[in-house]
Structure 1
Amino acid sequence: MVVAGLLVCAGCTTGSDEDRGSDPAPQAALSLASLDLGWSRAQALDAGDPPPAPSGVDPATYDRMAASLVSWAEATTLDKTVWHSASPIDTVADALPDRAAATLTKQAAAAVSPRLAVANVFADGVTVLGAPQVTTAWQVSKAKDEAGKPYVVLELQTRAAYEVRMGADGPVRVIGMLRVHGLSAYPDTTEDFGVSSGWQEFGAGDCTLALDDQLVPESDLDETRADLKAFQRVGDADEVEMPDLGDDEQVDEDYLRRCRAGQA
Protein backbone atom coordinates (compact mmCIF):
# COMPACT_ATOMS: atom_id res chain seq x y z
CA MET A 1 0.00 0.00 0.00
CA VAL A 2 1.23 3.49 -0.84
CA VAL A 3 0.42 6.46 1.34
CA ALA A 4 0.69 9.92 -0.24
CA GLY A 5 1.22 12.95 1.93
CA LEU A 6 1.60 16.67 1.27
CA LEU A 7 4.20 18.77 3.06
CA VAL A 8 3.69 22.50 2.77
CA CYS A 9 6.58 24.80 3.71
CA ALA A 10 7.93 28.22 2.86
CA GLY A 11 11.53 28.61 1.79
CA CYS A 12 12.33 24.97 2.45
CA THR A 13 14.50 22.46 0.60
CA THR A 14 14.13 18.74 0.31
CA GLY A 15 16.94 16.54 1.53
CA SER A 16 20.33 17.37 2.99
CA ASP A 17 23.78 17.90 1.49
CA GLU A 18 24.35 14.16 1.74
CA ASP A 19 21.11 13.49 -0.15
CA ARG A 20 22.24 15.60 -3.10
CA GLY A 21 25.05 13.16 -3.77
CA SER A 22 22.47 10.57 -4.83
CA ASP A 23 21.00 12.77 -7.58
CA PRO A 24 21.59 11.38 -11.08
CA ALA A 25 24.56 12.93 -12.83
CA PRO A 26 23.72 15.18 -15.78
CA GLN A 27 24.04 13.47 -19.13
CA ALA A 28 27.09 14.37 -21.17
CA ALA A 29 26.60 16.66 -24.15
CA LEU A 30 27.61 15.81 -27.71
CA SER A 31 27.73 19.03 -29.70
CA LEU A 32 28.87 20.09 -33.15
CA ALA A 33 31.77 21.89 -31.48
CA SER A 34 32.89 18.71 -29.72
CA LEU A 35 32.70 16.71 -32.97
CA ASP A 36 34.80 19.33 -34.80
CA LEU A 37 33.59 18.25 -38.24
CA GLY A 38 35.16 21.24 -39.92
CA TRP A 39 32.00 21.92 -41.95
CA SER A 40 30.21 25.25 -42.27
CA ARG A 41 26.78 26.00 -40.83
CA ALA A 42 24.42 26.55 -43.75
CA GLN A 43 21.60 29.09 -43.84
CA ALA A 44 21.27 28.47 -47.58
CA LEU A 45 22.50 25.55 -49.65
CA ASP A 46 25.81 26.08 -51.44
CA ALA A 47 25.88 23.03 -53.70
CA GLY A 48 28.58 24.24 -56.06
CA ASP A 49 28.47 23.42 -59.76
CA PRO A 50 27.15 20.09 -61.02
CA PRO A 51 29.40 17.94 -63.19
CA PRO A 52 29.36 18.72 -66.92
CA ALA A 53 26.42 17.38 -68.89
CA PRO A 54 27.20 14.07 -70.61
CA SER A 55 27.25 14.01 -74.39
CA GLY A 56 23.83 13.80 -75.98
CA VAL A 57 22.08 15.58 -73.10
CA ASP A 58 20.33 18.85 -73.87
CA PRO A 59 22.18 21.58 -71.91
CA ALA A 60 19.00 23.52 -71.11
CA THR A 61 17.28 20.41 -69.76
CA TYR A 62 20.36 19.52 -67.72
CA ASP A 63 20.47 23.03 -66.23
CA ARG A 64 16.80 22.74 -65.24
CA MET A 65 17.50 19.41 -63.56
CA ALA A 66 20.41 20.87 -61.59
CA ALA A 67 18.44 23.95 -60.50
CA SER A 68 15.49 21.79 -59.43
CA LEU A 69 17.77 19.52 -57.41
CA VAL A 70 19.27 22.47 -55.52
CA SER A 71 15.80 23.82 -54.69
CA TRP A 72 14.62 20.36 -53.67
CA ALA A 73 17.65 19.69 -51.46
CA GLU A 74 17.37 23.05 -49.76
CA ALA A 75 13.73 22.33 -48.91
CA THR A 76 14.41 18.87 -47.46
CA THR A 77 17.45 19.90 -45.45
CA LEU A 78 17.41 23.60 -44.55
CA ASP A 79 13.79 24.77 -44.65
CA LYS A 80 12.89 25.22 -40.97
CA THR A 81 9.19 24.88 -41.72
CA VAL A 82 9.61 21.19 -42.57
CA TRP A 83 11.60 20.28 -39.44
CA HIS A 84 8.42 19.89 -37.37
CA SER A 85 5.84 19.73 -40.14
CA ALA A 86 2.93 17.31 -40.13
CA SER A 87 2.98 17.40 -43.94
CA PRO A 88 6.46 18.27 -45.23
CA ILE A 89 5.56 17.06 -48.73
CA ASP A 90 3.53 20.26 -49.19
CA THR A 91 6.67 22.39 -48.88
CA VAL A 92 9.03 20.01 -50.65
CA ALA A 93 6.72 19.52 -53.63
CA ASP A 94 6.70 23.27 -54.23
CA ALA A 95 10.44 23.08 -54.94
CA LEU A 96 9.97 20.66 -57.85
CA PRO A 97 8.40 20.82 -61.31
CA ASP A 98 4.76 19.76 -61.17
CA ARG A 99 5.14 16.25 -62.60
CA ALA A 100 8.19 15.46 -60.51
CA ALA A 101 6.34 16.74 -57.43
CA ALA A 102 3.40 14.44 -58.20
CA THR A 103 5.75 11.47 -58.56
CA LEU A 104 7.51 12.21 -55.26
CA THR A 105 4.16 12.62 -53.49
CA LYS A 106 3.06 9.20 -54.74
CA GLN A 107 6.35 7.59 -53.70
CA ALA A 108 6.19 9.10 -50.22
CA ALA A 109 2.63 7.93 -49.63
CA ALA A 110 3.79 4.33 -50.09
CA ALA A 111 6.78 4.65 -47.71
CA VAL A 112 6.92 3.21 -44.18
CA SER A 113 7.97 6.67 -42.93
CA PRO A 114 6.26 9.06 -45.38
CA ARG A 115 7.43 12.28 -43.72
CA LEU A 116 11.06 11.19 -43.44
CA ALA A 117 10.85 9.92 -47.00
CA VAL A 118 10.67 13.54 -48.16
CA ALA A 119 12.41 15.68 -45.51
CA ASN A 120 14.39 15.77 -42.28
CA VAL A 121 11.58 15.89 -39.70
CA PHE A 122 12.14 16.01 -35.93
CA ALA A 123 9.86 15.12 -33.03
CA ASP A 124 7.98 18.00 -31.43
CA GLY A 125 10.09 17.70 -28.28
CA VAL A 126 13.35 18.01 -30.22
CA THR A 127 14.72 21.54 -30.68
CA VAL A 128 17.14 22.15 -33.54
CA LEU A 129 19.85 24.49 -32.26
CA GLY A 130 20.80 26.84 -35.07
CA ALA A 131 21.56 25.94 -38.66
CA PRO A 132 23.01 22.52 -39.45
CA GLN A 133 26.52 21.97 -40.75
CA VAL A 134 26.25 20.74 -44.34
CA THR A 135 28.36 19.33 -47.14
CA THR A 136 27.15 18.27 -50.59
CA ALA A 137 28.18 16.08 -53.50
CA TRP A 138 27.00 15.71 -57.10
CA GLN A 139 26.89 12.62 -59.28
CA VAL A 140 25.87 12.11 -62.90
CA SER A 141 25.46 8.79 -64.69
CA LYS A 142 23.93 7.31 -67.82
CA ALA A 143 21.77 4.21 -67.95
CA LYS A 144 19.29 2.38 -70.17
CA ASP A 145 15.72 1.37 -69.42
CA GLU A 146 14.29 -2.10 -70.02
CA ALA A 147 13.67 -1.23 -73.66
CA GLY A 148 17.28 -0.16 -74.11
CA LYS A 149 16.50 3.54 -74.32
CA PRO A 150 19.27 5.68 -72.75
CA TYR A 151 18.67 8.29 -70.07
CA VAL A 152 20.76 10.45 -67.74
CA VAL A 153 20.54 10.55 -63.93
CA LEU A 154 21.72 13.61 -61.99
CA GLU A 155 21.94 13.34 -58.20
CA LEU A 156 22.66 15.79 -55.39
CA GLN A 157 23.47 14.48 -51.92
CA THR A 158 23.21 16.54 -48.74
CA ARG A 159 25.08 15.55 -45.57
CA ALA A 160 23.58 17.57 -42.72
CA ALA A 161 24.65 17.49 -39.06
CA TYR A 162 21.97 18.91 -36.76
CA GLU A 163 22.71 19.96 -33.19
CA VAL A 164 19.57 19.21 -31.17
CA ARG A 165 18.22 19.19 -27.64
CA MET A 166 15.58 16.79 -26.35
CA GLY A 167 13.12 18.60 -24.12
CA ALA A 168 13.55 21.94 -22.39
CA ASP A 169 16.72 21.05 -20.49
CA GLY A 170 17.87 17.76 -21.98
CA PRO A 171 21.40 17.06 -23.17
CA VAL A 172 22.71 18.35 -26.49
CA ARG A 173 23.12 15.72 -29.19
CA VAL A 174 23.91 15.58 -32.92
CA ILE A 175 21.86 13.80 -35.58
CA GLY A 176 23.35 13.28 -39.03
CA MET A 177 21.23 12.89 -42.15
CA LEU A 178 22.32 11.74 -45.59
CA ARG A 179 19.80 12.44 -48.32
CA VAL A 180 20.12 11.79 -52.05
CA HIS A 181 17.90 13.70 -54.47
CA GLY A 182 17.82 12.41 -58.05
CA LEU A 183 16.21 13.41 -61.34
CA SER A 184 16.45 11.51 -64.61
CA ALA A 185 15.69 12.47 -68.20
CA TYR A 186 15.57 10.89 -71.64
CA PRO A 187 17.14 12.74 -74.58
CA ASP A 188 13.73 14.16 -75.53
CA THR A 189 12.65 15.03 -71.96
CA THR A 190 11.98 18.67 -71.15
CA GLU A 191 9.98 18.67 -67.90
CA ASP A 192 8.73 15.15 -67.15
CA PHE A 193 11.69 14.05 -65.05
CA GLY A 194 12.00 10.71 -63.32
CA VAL A 195 12.41 10.96 -59.55
CA SER A 196 14.62 8.97 -57.18
CA SER A 197 15.59 9.60 -53.57
CA GLY A 198 17.04 7.98 -50.49
CA TRP A 199 17.93 8.86 -46.90
CA GLN A 200 19.90 7.51 -43.99
CA GLU A 201 20.17 8.71 -40.39
CA PHE A 202 23.06 8.63 -37.94
CA GLY A 203 22.60 9.18 -34.22
CA ALA A 204 18.80 8.93 -34.17
CA GLY A 205 16.55 6.44 -32.40
CA ASP A 206 15.89 3.75 -35.00
CA CYS A 207 12.44 2.50 -34.02
CA THR A 208 11.17 6.03 -33.43
CA LEU A 209 11.73 6.91 -37.06
CA ALA A 210 9.81 3.80 -38.11
CA LEU A 211 7.00 3.97 -35.55
CA ASP A 212 6.56 7.74 -35.25
CA ASP A 213 8.03 8.93 -38.57
CA GLN A 214 10.30 11.49 -36.90
CA LEU A 215 13.82 11.93 -35.57
CA VAL A 216 14.84 11.83 -31.90
CA PRO A 217 18.40 11.47 -30.57
CA GLU A 218 19.70 7.98 -29.87
CA SER A 219 19.98 7.41 -26.11
CA ASP A 220 23.22 5.38 -26.30
CA LEU A 221 26.04 7.93 -26.50
CA ASP A 222 28.70 5.39 -27.52
CA GLU A 223 26.52 4.15 -30.37
CA THR A 224 25.87 7.74 -31.43
CA ARG A 225 29.59 8.50 -31.59
CA ALA A 226 30.24 5.41 -33.71
CA ASP A 227 27.36 6.32 -36.04
CA LEU A 228 28.57 9.88 -36.47
CA LYS A 229 32.11 8.75 -37.22
CA ALA A 230 30.76 6.81 -40.22
CA PHE A 231 28.60 9.80 -41.16
CA GLN A 232 31.58 12.17 -41.10
CA ARG A 233 33.55 9.89 -43.40
CA VAL A 234 30.80 10.19 -46.02
CA GLY A 235 30.39 13.91 -45.45
CA ASP A 236 34.10 14.54 -46.02
CA ALA A 237 34.13 12.66 -49.33
CA ASP A 238 33.72 14.21 -52.76
CA GLU A 239 31.59 11.36 -54.09
CA VAL A 240 27.97 10.46 -53.44
CA GLU A 241 27.80 7.46 -51.13
CA MET A 242 25.13 5.73 -49.09
CA PRO A 243 26.76 3.22 -46.70
CA ASP A 244 25.55 -0.34 -47.11
CA LEU A 245 22.97 -1.47 -44.58
CA GLY A 246 22.19 -5.00 -43.57
CA ASP A 247 18.74 -6.34 -44.41
CA ASP A 248 17.74 -6.00 -40.74
CA GLU A 249 18.52 -2.25 -40.82
CA GLN A 250 16.31 -1.33 -43.75
CA VAL A 251 13.28 0.76 -42.77
CA ASP A 252 10.64 -1.45 -44.37
CA GLU A 253 7.46 -3.24 -43.33
CA ASP A 254 9.43 -6.06 -41.68
CA TYR A 255 11.45 -3.56 -39.65
CA LEU A 256 8.24 -1.80 -38.62
CA ARG A 257 6.75 -5.10 -37.43
CA ARG A 258 9.87 -5.87 -35.39
CA CYS A 259 9.76 -2.42 -33.79
CA ARG A 260 6.12 -2.89 -32.84
CA ALA A 261 7.01 -6.24 -31.30
CA GLY A 262 10.01 -4.81 -29.44
CA GLN A 263 12.40 -7.02 -31.40
CA ALA A 264 14.41 -4.42 -33.35
Structure 2
Amino acid sequence: MAIVVSGCTSGSSDPEPTPTATTARAITFESLKLDWPTAQGRLVVPEVPAAPAGFDAETLDRMAAVLKKWARLSTVDDGMWHSGDPLSDVRAVLPKDTASTYEEQLRGVVSPHLAVANVFGDDVTVVGTPMVTAAWHVSTEKDQANESFVRLELQTRAAYEVRIGNGPSRVIGVLRVHSLSAYKDTTDDFGIGGGWQEFGASDCALALDDALVPDSDRADSLDDLQTFIRIGRGSTVQMPELLAHDRLDPDYVERCRNGQA
Protein backbone atom coordinates (compact mmCIF):
# COMPACT_ATOMS: atom_id res chain seq x y z
CA MET A 1 0.00 0.00 0.00
CA ALA A 2 1.45 3.39 -0.88
CA ILE A 3 0.66 6.91 -1.88
CA VAL A 4 2.67 8.08 -4.85
CA VAL A 5 5.32 10.52 -3.70
CA SER A 6 4.50 13.76 -5.45
CA GLY A 7 6.06 17.14 -5.95
CA CYS A 8 4.27 20.31 -6.95
CA THR A 9 5.20 23.81 -7.89
CA SER A 10 3.31 27.01 -7.30
CA GLY A 11 3.71 30.62 -8.31
CA SER A 12 6.31 31.98 -10.69
CA SER A 13 8.63 29.73 -12.67
CA ASP A 14 11.27 32.44 -13.07
CA PRO A 15 14.66 30.74 -12.60
CA GLU A 16 16.68 33.95 -12.37
CA PRO A 17 18.74 34.61 -9.21
CA THR A 18 17.35 36.79 -6.46
CA PRO A 19 18.07 40.51 -7.03
CA THR A 20 20.64 42.21 -4.83
CA ALA A 21 19.68 44.12 -1.70
CA THR A 22 20.03 47.41 -3.57
CA THR A 23 17.39 46.51 -6.17
CA ALA A 24 14.67 44.73 -4.19
CA ARG A 25 13.01 44.91 -0.81
CA ALA A 26 13.24 41.98 1.54
CA ILE A 27 10.50 39.57 2.55
CA THR A 28 10.93 38.53 6.18
CA PHE A 29 8.97 36.80 8.91
CA GLU A 30 8.40 40.24 10.40
CA SER A 31 7.07 41.75 7.17
CA LEU A 32 4.71 38.77 6.79
CA LYS A 33 3.66 39.14 10.45
CA LEU A 34 4.43 35.46 11.08
CA ASP A 35 4.32 34.52 14.75
CA TRP A 36 4.45 30.73 14.44
CA PRO A 37 6.49 28.50 16.78
CA THR A 38 10.20 28.38 15.97
CA ALA A 39 11.79 24.99 15.42
CA GLN A 40 15.56 24.58 15.20
CA GLY A 41 16.23 20.85 15.17
CA ARG A 42 13.20 20.15 17.38
CA LEU A 43 9.71 19.63 15.98
CA VAL A 44 6.68 20.26 18.18
CA VAL A 45 3.44 18.71 16.89
CA PRO A 46 -0.14 18.55 18.20
CA GLU A 47 -1.44 15.56 20.13
CA VAL A 48 -1.82 12.43 18.02
CA PRO A 49 -5.49 11.74 17.17
CA ALA A 50 -7.22 8.73 18.67
CA ALA A 51 -7.12 5.42 16.82
CA PRO A 52 -10.24 4.67 14.75
CA ALA A 53 -12.67 2.17 16.24
CA GLY A 54 -11.35 -1.38 15.95
CA PHE A 55 -7.76 -0.33 15.21
CA ASP A 56 -4.99 -1.04 17.70
CA ALA A 57 -3.98 2.14 19.55
CA GLU A 58 -0.42 0.90 20.10
CA THR A 59 0.04 0.39 16.36
CA LEU A 60 -1.16 3.93 15.69
CA ASP A 61 1.26 5.21 18.35
CA ARG A 62 4.14 3.38 16.62
CA MET A 63 3.13 4.93 13.31
CA ALA A 64 3.01 8.38 14.92
CA ALA A 65 6.45 7.93 16.47
CA VAL A 66 7.96 7.09 13.07
CA LEU A 67 6.19 10.01 11.39
CA LYS A 68 7.50 12.47 13.99
CA LYS A 69 11.09 11.29 13.48
CA TRP A 70 10.71 11.46 9.71
CA ALA A 71 9.10 14.92 9.80
CA ARG A 72 11.81 16.29 12.08
CA LEU A 73 14.48 15.19 9.61
CA SER A 74 12.68 16.44 6.52
CA THR A 75 11.78 19.82 7.98
CA VAL A 76 13.94 21.17 10.81
CA ASP A 77 17.19 19.17 10.85
CA ASP A 78 19.73 21.68 9.52
CA GLY A 79 22.01 18.84 8.46
CA MET A 80 19.43 17.95 5.80
CA TRP A 81 19.12 21.45 4.30
CA HIS A 82 22.19 20.98 2.10
CA SER A 83 22.43 17.19 2.19
CA GLY A 84 23.61 15.34 -0.88
CA ASP A 85 21.80 12.18 0.24
CA PRO A 86 18.75 12.97 2.41
CA LEU A 87 17.23 9.55 1.75
CA SER A 88 19.95 7.75 3.72
CA ASP A 89 19.04 9.66 6.89
CA VAL A 90 15.31 9.14 6.43
CA ARG A 91 15.79 5.42 5.78
CA ALA A 92 17.43 5.13 9.20
CA VAL A 93 14.23 6.16 11.03
CA LEU A 94 11.86 3.99 8.97
CA PRO A 95 11.13 0.27 9.49
CA LYS A 96 13.32 -1.78 7.15
CA ASP A 97 10.61 -2.95 4.75
CA THR A 98 8.93 0.46 4.75
CA ALA A 99 12.26 2.11 3.90
CA SER A 100 12.73 -0.26 0.96
CA THR A 101 9.24 0.54 -0.32
CA TYR A 102 9.92 4.27 -0.03
CA GLU A 103 13.21 4.01 -1.91
CA GLU A 104 11.46 2.11 -4.69
CA GLN A 105 8.77 4.82 -4.93
CA LEU A 106 11.44 7.47 -5.43
CA ARG A 107 13.02 5.83 -8.45
CA GLY A 108 12.61 8.09 -11.46
CA VAL A 109 11.01 11.08 -9.70
CA VAL A 110 12.00 14.49 -11.08
CA SER A 111 13.37 15.92 -7.81
CA PRO A 112 14.46 12.99 -5.61
CA HIS A 113 16.06 15.13 -2.87
CA LEU A 114 13.04 17.40 -2.52
CA ALA A 115 10.76 14.37 -2.55
CA VAL A 116 12.44 13.38 0.72
CA ALA A 117 13.25 16.64 2.53
CA ASN A 118 13.39 20.43 2.33
CA VAL A 119 16.77 20.81 0.62
CA PHE A 120 18.16 24.23 -0.39
CA GLY A 121 20.48 25.34 -3.17
CA ASP A 122 24.20 25.37 -2.42
CA ASP A 123 24.32 29.18 -2.34
CA VAL A 124 21.15 29.58 -0.25
CA THR A 125 21.59 30.40 3.44
CA VAL A 126 18.79 29.78 5.93
CA VAL A 127 18.69 32.88 8.14
CA GLY A 128 17.89 32.28 11.79
CA THR A 129 15.35 29.66 12.83
CA PRO A 130 12.46 28.34 10.73
CA MET A 131 8.87 28.73 11.87
CA VAL A 132 6.76 25.58 11.72
CA THR A 133 3.22 24.46 12.40
CA ALA A 134 1.89 20.92 12.03
CA ALA A 135 -1.35 18.98 11.73
CA TRP A 136 -2.45 15.33 11.90
CA HIS A 137 -5.08 13.46 9.93
CA VAL A 138 -6.22 9.88 10.50
CA SER A 139 -8.64 8.06 8.22
CA THR A 140 -10.01 4.60 7.53
CA GLU A 141 -9.97 3.61 3.86
CA LYS A 142 -10.43 0.51 1.72
CA ASP A 143 -8.03 -1.05 -0.75
CA GLN A 144 -8.91 -2.54 -4.14
CA ALA A 145 -9.87 -5.81 -2.43
CA ASN A 146 -12.30 -3.89 -0.20
CA GLU A 147 -10.15 -4.52 2.89
CA SER A 148 -10.01 -1.69 5.42
CA PHE A 149 -6.79 -0.02 6.48
CA VAL A 150 -5.87 3.08 8.49
CA ARG A 151 -3.82 5.97 7.13
CA LEU A 152 -2.08 8.42 9.48
CA GLU A 153 -0.70 11.67 8.05
CA LEU A 154 1.50 14.34 9.62
CA GLN A 155 1.76 17.60 7.70
CA THR A 156 4.49 20.14 8.40
CA ARG A 157 4.11 23.76 7.28
CA ALA A 158 7.62 25.17 7.42
CA ALA A 159 8.59 28.79 6.71
CA TYR A 160 12.28 29.56 6.11
CA GLU A 161 13.82 33.01 5.86
CA VAL A 162 16.62 32.64 3.32
CA ARG A 163 19.18 34.68 1.44
CA ILE A 164 21.49 34.25 -1.55
CA GLY A 165 24.84 35.95 -0.93
CA ASN A 166 24.27 39.57 0.10
CA GLY A 167 20.84 39.64 -1.54
CA PRO A 168 17.65 40.54 0.30
CA SER A 169 15.94 38.09 2.61
CA ARG A 170 13.13 36.05 1.12
CA VAL A 171 10.73 33.54 2.67
CA ILE A 172 10.15 30.05 1.27
CA GLY A 173 7.27 27.98 2.60
CA VAL A 174 6.95 24.21 2.23
CA LEU A 175 3.92 22.04 2.92
CA ARG A 176 4.99 18.43 3.37
CA VAL A 177 2.76 15.44 4.14
CA HIS A 178 4.32 12.34 5.71
CA SER A 179 2.04 9.31 5.60
CA LEU A 180 2.00 5.74 6.92
CA SER A 181 -0.76 3.16 6.55
CA ALA A 182 -1.52 -0.18 8.18
CA TYR A 183 -4.04 -3.01 8.28
CA LYS A 184 -5.33 -4.42 11.56
CA ASP A 185 -2.66 -7.13 11.59
CA THR A 186 0.26 -4.92 10.47
CA THR A 187 3.19 -4.86 12.88
CA ASP A 188 5.76 -2.49 11.41
CA ASP A 189 5.68 -3.12 7.64
CA PHE A 190 3.76 0.09 7.09
CA GLY A 191 2.66 1.46 3.75
CA ILE A 192 4.31 4.82 3.06
CA GLY A 193 3.66 7.89 0.97
CA GLY A 194 3.36 11.63 1.02
CA GLY A 195 3.67 14.79 -0.99
CA TRP A 196 5.11 18.30 -0.89
CA GLN A 197 4.47 21.73 -2.29
CA GLU A 198 6.57 24.89 -2.14
CA PHE A 199 5.65 28.57 -2.00
CA GLY A 200 7.97 31.45 -2.82
CA ALA A 201 10.63 29.34 -4.56
CA SER A 202 11.81 29.30 -8.17
CA ASP A 203 9.93 26.48 -9.86
CA CYS A 204 12.58 25.74 -12.47
CA ALA A 205 15.23 25.47 -9.73
CA LEU A 206 13.09 22.70 -8.23
CA ALA A 207 12.99 20.91 -11.56
CA LEU A 208 16.56 21.47 -12.78
CA ASP A 209 18.57 21.74 -9.54
CA ASP A 210 16.43 19.63 -7.17
CA ALA A 211 16.69 22.37 -4.56
CA LEU A 212 14.80 25.27 -3.01
CA VAL A 213 15.95 28.66 -4.31
CA PRO A 214 14.00 31.88 -3.65
CA ASP A 215 11.96 33.26 -6.51
CA SER A 216 13.30 36.53 -7.91
CA ASP A 217 9.82 38.03 -8.35
CA ARG A 218 8.86 39.65 -5.04
CA ALA A 219 5.22 40.26 -5.98
CA ASP A 220 4.69 36.68 -7.11
CA SER A 221 6.34 35.39 -3.94
CA LEU A 222 4.10 37.49 -1.71
CA ASP A 223 1.00 36.30 -3.52
CA ASP A 224 2.19 32.69 -3.39
CA LEU A 225 2.95 32.84 0.33
CA GLN A 226 -0.53 34.01 1.28
CA THR A 227 -1.93 30.57 0.45
CA PHE A 228 0.83 28.89 2.43
CA ILE A 229 0.25 31.10 5.47
CA ARG A 230 -3.51 30.50 5.39
CA ILE A 231 -2.98 26.73 5.46
CA GLY A 232 -0.24 26.97 8.07
CA ARG A 233 -2.55 28.84 10.43
CA GLY A 234 -5.20 26.14 10.17
CA SER A 235 -5.57 22.94 12.15
CA THR A 236 -6.30 20.51 9.30
CA VAL A 237 -4.16 18.83 6.65
CA GLN A 238 -4.63 20.62 3.32
CA MET A 239 -2.77 20.60 0.01
CA PRO A 240 -3.91 23.14 -2.61
CA GLU A 241 -5.11 21.65 -5.86
CA LEU A 242 -2.84 22.47 -8.79
CA LEU A 243 -3.33 22.37 -12.52
CA ALA A 244 -1.52 19.63 -14.43
CA HIS A 245 0.99 22.07 -16.00
CA ASP A 246 2.18 23.12 -12.51
CA ARG A 247 3.27 19.62 -11.50
CA LEU A 248 6.91 18.59 -11.48
CA ASP A 249 7.13 16.00 -14.24
CA PRO A 250 9.41 15.37 -17.25
CA ASP A 251 7.36 17.77 -19.40
CA TYR A 252 7.89 20.56 -16.88
CA VAL A 253 11.64 19.88 -16.80
CA GLU A 254 11.77 20.11 -20.58
CA ARG A 255 9.87 23.42 -20.56
CA CYS A 256 12.35 24.81 -18.02
CA ARG A 257 15.31 23.71 -20.14
CA ASN A 258 13.77 25.41 -23.15
CA GLY A 259 12.89 28.59 -21.25
CA GLN A 260 9.18 27.97 -21.75
CA ALA A 261 8.04 27.37 -18.16
TM over 0.5: yes
After superposition, residues 203-214 of structure 1 pair within 5 angstroms as 203-214=200-211
Which consecutive aligned stretches of 4+ in structure 1 deviate over 6 angstroms post-superposition?
A: none
1:254 aligns with 2:251: yes
Give the distance between the partners of 1:26 and 1:148, measured in 2 at CA: 59
Give the distance between the partners of 1:138 and 1:76, measured in 2 at CA: 16
What is the CA-CA distance between 1:201 and the residue it aligns to? 0.2
Give the distance between the partners of 1:163 and 1:221, measured in 2 at CA: 14
User: Is the partner of 2:79 in helix, strand or coil?
Assistant: helix
What is the CA-CA distance between 1:82 and the residue it aligns to? 0.9
CA contact (8 A) 1:108 1:115 kept: no
User: Is the partner of 2:150 in helix, strand or coil?
Assistant: strand
Residue of structure 2 equivalent to 1:179: 176
From 94, 97, 102, the equivalent of 2:95 is: 97
Give the distance between the partners of 2:249 and 2:156, measured in 1 at CA: 22
What is the CA-CA distance between 1:110 and the residue it aligns to? 2.4
From 222, 227, 230, the equivalent of 1:225 is: 222
Which digits, 9 at most, give the CA deviation of each residue in 1:226-261, with x for residues without a partner? Answer: 011110001011110000101110111111111112
1:126 aligns with 2:124: yes
Change (3 A) 1:75 1:25: closer
Q: Name stretches of at least 5 consecutive residues in structure 2 with no aligned partner.
A: 1-19
CA contact (8 A) 1:160 1:177 kept: yes
Residue of structure 2 equivalent to 1:12: none
From 7, 24, 37, the equivalent of 1:40 is: 37
Residue of structure 1 equivalent to 2:114: 116
- AA matched with 1:186: Y
CA contact (8 A) 1:75 1:95 kept: no
What is the CA-CA distance between 1:27 and the residue it aligns to? 2.0
Residue of structure 1 equivalent to 2:10: none
Greater shift in the superposed pair: 104-113 or 145-154? 104-113
- AA matched with 1:53: A
- AA matched with 2:34: L
Give the distance between the partners of 2:93 and 2:156, measured in 1 at CA: 16
Paired residues in the alignment total 241
After superposition, residues 133-172 of structure 1 pair within 5 angstroms as 133-167=131-165, 169-172=166-169
- AA matched with 2:81: W
- AA matched with 1:77: T
Q: Which has the higher contact order (CA 8 A, sep 6+)?
A: 2
Give the distance between the partners of 2:69 and 2:196, measured in 1 at CA: 17
User: Is the partner of 1:117 in helix, strand or coil?
Assistant: helix
What is the CA-CA distance between 1:24 and the residue it aligns to? 9.2
Residue of structure 2 equivalent to 1:196: 193
User: Is the partner of 1:170 in helix, strand or coil?
Assistant: coil
Residue of structure 1 equivalent to 2:74: 76
Residue of structure 2 equivalent to 1:55: 53
User: Is the partner of 2:132 in helix, strand or coil?
Assistant: strand
CA contact (8 A) 1:155 1:183 kept: yes
Change (3 A) 1:24 1:190: closer
Identity %, equivalent residues:
54
What is the CA-CA distance between 1:34 and the residue it aligns to? 1.1
What is the CA-CA distance between 1:26 and the residue it aligns to? 3.6
Residue of structure 1 equivalent to 2:7: none
From 237, 243, 249, the equivalent of 2:240 is: 243
Give the distance between the partners of 2:244 and 2:72, measured in 1 at CA: 30
Greater shift in the superposed pair: 90-99 or 147-156? 90-99
Residue of structure 2 equivalent to 1:19: none
Q: Name stretches of at least 5 consecutive residues in structure 1 with no aligned partner.
A: 1-22
Give the distance between the partners of 1:105 and 1:47, measured in 2 at CA: 26
CA contact (8 A) 2:50 2:57 kept: no
Which digits, 9 at most, give the CA deviation of each residue in 1:103-137, with x for residues without a partner? Answer: 22222232110000000000010000122100000
Give the distance between the partners of 1:24 and 1:171, measured in 2 at CA: 5
Q: Which has the larger radius of gyration?
A: 1
Give the distance between the partners of 2:22 and 2:44, measured in 1 at CA: 41
